[in-house]
Structure formats: structure tokens, C-alpha cells
Amino acid sequence: MKLNERSVAHYATCDSPADHAGFLRKRVERHHHHAHHHGTSYQRRWFVLKGNLLFYFEEQESREPVGLVVLEGCTVELCEAAEEFAFAIRFDDAGARAYVLVADGQAAMEAWVKALSRASFDYMRLVVRELEKQLEEACKSLAACRKSPWKSSSSSGRKRHLSNPALLPLQEKPTALENGYSTWGSGGCVAGGVTYTDHDGGQTKPPPLPPRRRSAAGSTTGSPVPGLSPAMLESPVSPETICFSKLHNWYGQEIAVLRREWQERQKRGHP
Amino acid sequence: MRYNERELLSLARQPAEKAAEIRMSVPKKGSVLKKRLVKLVVNFLFYFRTDEAEPIGALLLEHCRITKEEENVFSISFIEEPERKYCFECATEEQCQEWVEALKRASYEFLRRSLIFYRNEIQKMTGKDPLEQYGISEEARFQLGAHRQ
């Protein structure tokens, strides 16, 4: 089966942040079914975890991974190898071999087991769905307090549409907002400049909206486009078609910029 | 680069987020559109000959660009080689749009951004970090900038 290996290797080595990384000793699997004893040997490799993919390199500085373990559907367990601090990545498949890995110490082993056992796409998706629900509920209870006309078209099946005209000021009909987008980013379900009453009947002014941004061309998943500055980004969202995934890409670009800035500060030695 | 092909093949047999027969071409010289069974499972897109159980190939959908081309056609290309495009010709405009939307949301990195977004929004609205109750608020993958250890 073919795999887009060049792109996969690029993903492994590009500067998008890793979820975990470090040296591990990897047991070399030899098939000694008929031998009286196994010769177990281990190879020290540099491991990098990104998402649901575990890459390993010959050296930390290597420009290409020597191997990849797709982690989807695996279980991670401590194992009773002769080695201390050993753990295994196993798959359901009856004939599948396990990957036995050995860490440098107790803390390292625990950190790896924790990171790997939460690495699956499915797990991430679970958490996201849960938070999505929580956010909807938080919005609803806020809207209920304001007694606004709430029109929510519930998402069905795979669509993550959140068309929420109710996320607009009380007094006005849904029209184009100041920045041309619904105010998810401003921490409340209101447009800037409009006050709303909270639970206790007090009045709170919502925080100011982020500055106007100009269009970004196309949309990509993954790492930020080099040279993209906040001034070049604009929400592609109009109130009539509030599509969450578009909002995502837009918000994601902001995060990507923040992340880059954070990384640069790290490089300069700031805490 | 070695990889656990067996597990990937097993993944290809899992229930798909989306599957359809779509005409597809690969970025090779002289490549023509051929009918394939295309199947999206987590962040992989598998493609099969329509009568075979094992996929011809798999595309990891990280750092890729999904582009709507002319009507009914979309393409997948990867950041480091933007000119090499995998093209998909759908039966209808609607099908094309659905696939574009689904593929844009199919990467682990997209999920991560979503999570950070929701976490932030909930925190702003309720004052509470929603991940705390699960005991995972310190996990590197949920932070704005996970760093190498």
C-alpha cells in the first residue's frame, strides 16, 4: 500500500510543535520461533510524538525519520520485560507485534505512557465534542437569560454548523456586525458596544472586539503560512453563514501567529 | 521510512467518516482520473480499486491544502509540494462541497485548534477551565504551544 511518505516525513520534521519527544530504547524484534532463547537487543532512537503518529529517528539531529508507528487503536501498557522502565504499544490485531520501548527512568516512562495513551485521534475528537457541547450549553444559558429570540438550527450528522443569529445584539435584527463576524472571539454572545444583563441583573460591558482583519487567501490545515501577519487575516465569516469550521480556520490563524510568537520568545530565553 | 502497514490496513477497514466512489487522479505524469472507492478514517484518506478489499494507497491529511477547483472537482496537495495535486471529480457540486468541508476538518491539527478554541471560549464565558475536571489541563497537546522536551 502506498503512503504519501514524503509529506509524512515532512510533517515529522517541520517545526510544528511535538506533543512529546525524547530518547527511548526500542527493542529489536527478531523472529526466533524455533530458537531456544531470544536474543533481545535494543536500539536507542530519538522519538517524536505528533498527534496520533509516533516517529523515530536515528539521531536527534536526523533530517528524516527512520520509522513511524501509527498509534490509532493501540493500547499502551507497562510490560514485564527484563528491562526496567519498559512499556509496550500493542494493537488489537491478533498477529500484530508489540513495540517494546524502554525509557531512561521512572518519570520519563510515566510521561511517555501518559502521552501515548491519549494520542489517538478518537480521543481528541471525544474531548472536542464534549467541549463543543459545553460551549453550546454555556451560550444557551446566557441567551436564555437575555430572553433573545433564539433560532438555532441544530447540527445534524457530521455537520458542525452553528448558525446562530442569536449571537447578535438584542435590540437589532441580525445585520452585519462591525467587524463582519459574529463575536465568538470576544468572550460573549453579544456584539461590541451592546450591554447585556447577566444572571444577577447587573450590567456588564463586553470586551472590545479584535481589530479588523483583511482576507486570507484559501485555507490550509496545519502549520502557519510563513510571513502571515495578523493584519493580513480577516474573518471570512458573514453573519448569514456562520460556519464554525470557517471561524475555526480564522481563529486558528490567530493562534498560529500567537504560537509562533511564543516560540520565538522561548528561543530568546524568556520564561 | 518504515511504518506499521498492518495497523494502517486495519484502520482502512474501520467504519469511515465518509466514503464514496469518486474519480481520482494522482500527481504523476500522464495520470488520468480513475474510479476509486475513497474512504476517510480519522486523519487518513484511503483509496481502493472499487472491487478490492485492500487499499491502493493512503494519504495522511496533515499539513495539506484542500482546494475546490472547477465545479465538482477538489484537490489535495501538501504544504511542501503545493504543485503535486491529488484530484477528485465528484458526481455533484454538493458532494464536492461536502468532501471539501469534511477533509478540511479531518486533520489532528484541526482538532487540536478546535479544542484550544473551545477551551478558551468556555473559560472566558464561565471563568472555568473545562479540562480541569478531566485532569488533563496540563497536557502538552492541549496547550497553545506544545514544546519539545
Residues in A closer than 8 angstroms to B119, CB to CB, are 131
Q: Is A201 exposed, middle or buried (0-12, 13-18, 19+ CB in 10 A)?
A: exposed
Q: What nine digits make up the cell of A110?
A: 510515566
Domain extent at residue A20? 5-32+39-119
Q: Are A26 and B4 in contact (CB under 8 A)?
A: no
pLDDT of residue A244: 55
Mean pLDDT value of segment B136-144: 78
A146-185 residue pLDDT tens:
665 544 444 433 333 333 333 333 333 333 333 333 333 3
Q: How far apart are CA A64 and CA A14, in angstroms?
A: 10
Q: Are B54 and A2 in contact (CB under 8 A)?
A: no
pLDDT of residue A93: 74
H runs (alpha helix) in chain A: 5-13, 106-117, 121-146, 244-267
pTM, full prediction = 0.69
Residues in B closer than 8 angstroms to A18, CB to CB, are 146, 148
Q: Does A15 lie at the interface with B, CB-CB under 8 angstroms?
A: no
Q: Apex CA B116: angle with CA A257 and CA B63, to 5°?
A: 60
CA A18 to chain CA centroid, nearest Å: 11
Mean pLDDT value of segment B75-103: 96
Mean pLDDT value of segment A204-220: 42
Going through B1-149 in order, the beta strands assigned E by DSSP cover 2-3, 18-25, 34-41, 44-49, 57-60, 64-68, 73-78, 81-89
**pLDDT over 80 at B87, yes or no:** yes
Q: Which domains does chain B have, with CATH numbers?
A: 8-110 (2.30.29.30)
* Pairs across A and B, CB distance < 8 A: 235
Q: Does A222 lie at the interface with B, CB-CB under 8 angstroms?
A: yes
Q: Which residues pair with A68 in a beta bridge?
A: A55, B3
Which of A128, A119, A19, A158 has the alpha carbon at shortest distance from B118?
A128
**pLDDT over 80 at A21, yes or no:** yes
pLDDT of residue A82: 72
Q: What nine digits make up the cell of B120?
A: 478558551
Closest chain A residue to B98 measured between Cα atoms? A159
What CATH number is given to the structural domain containing A56? 2.30.29.30
Q: Are B140 and B131 in contact (CB under 8 A)?
A: no
Q: What nine digits make up the cell of A193?
A: 458596544
Q: Does A90 lie at the interface with B, CB-CB under 8 angstroms?
A: no
User: Which of the given ranges, A32-46, A135-149, B5-19, has the highest pLDDT on average?
Assistant: B5-19
Residue A169 lies in a domain: no
**pLDDT over 80 at A92, yes or no:** yes
Q: Which residues pair with A25 in a beta bridge?
A: A44, A102
Q: Phi and psi dihedrals of A18, rounded to 5?
A: -90, 150
Residue A62 lies in a domain: yes
Higher pLDDT, A251 or B147: A251
Spell out the SS3 assignment of A126-170: HHHHHHHHHHHHHHHHHHHHHCCCCCCCCCCCCCCCCCCHHHCCC
pLDDT of residue A215: 35
Residue A115 lies in a domain: yes
On the CB side of A121, how many CA atoms lie within 13 Å of its CA? 22
A254 pLDDT band, cuts 50/70/90, is: low
Q: Do B107 and A221 touch (CB under 8 A)?
A: yes
Residue B12 CB: number of other CB atoms within 10 A? Answer: 20
B101-114 residue pLDDT tens:
999 999 999 999 99
pLDDT of residue A269: 62
DSSP secondary-structure letter at B69? -
Residue A248 lies in a domain: no
- Rounded to a whole number, what is the distance in angstroms from the first to the last CA of chain A? 46
Residues in A closer than 8 angstroms to B11, CB to CB, are 70, 72-73
| Pairing relationship of beta strands B73-78 and A86-91 according to DSSP bridges | unpaired
A31-85 residue pLDDT tens:
655 555 556 889 999 999 999 999 999 999 999 999 999 999 999 999 877 789 9
Residues in A closer than 8 angstroms to B140, CB to CB, are 17, 19-20, 115
Residue A262 lies in a domain: no
DSSP string, A93-104: STTPPPEEEE-S
Helices (H) and strands (E) in chain A, counts: 4, 10
* Count of structural domains, chain A: 1
A91 phi-psi bin (left φ>0, alpha ψ -120 to 50, beta other): beta
Residue A251 lies in a domain: no
Higher pLDDT, A174 or B82: B82
The percent of residues above 70 in pLDDT, for chain B, comes to 96
The percent of residues above 90 in pLDDT, for chain A, comes to 38
To the nearest whole number, what is the mean pLDDT of chain A?
68
B79 pLDDT band, cuts 50/70/90, is: very high
Assembly ipTM: 0.92
**pLDDT over 80 at B97, yes or no:** yes
**What sign for the dihedral angle of Cα A49, A119, A257, B134?**
negative
pLDDT of residue A149: 53
Of A8, A135, A249, the CB nearest to B118: A135
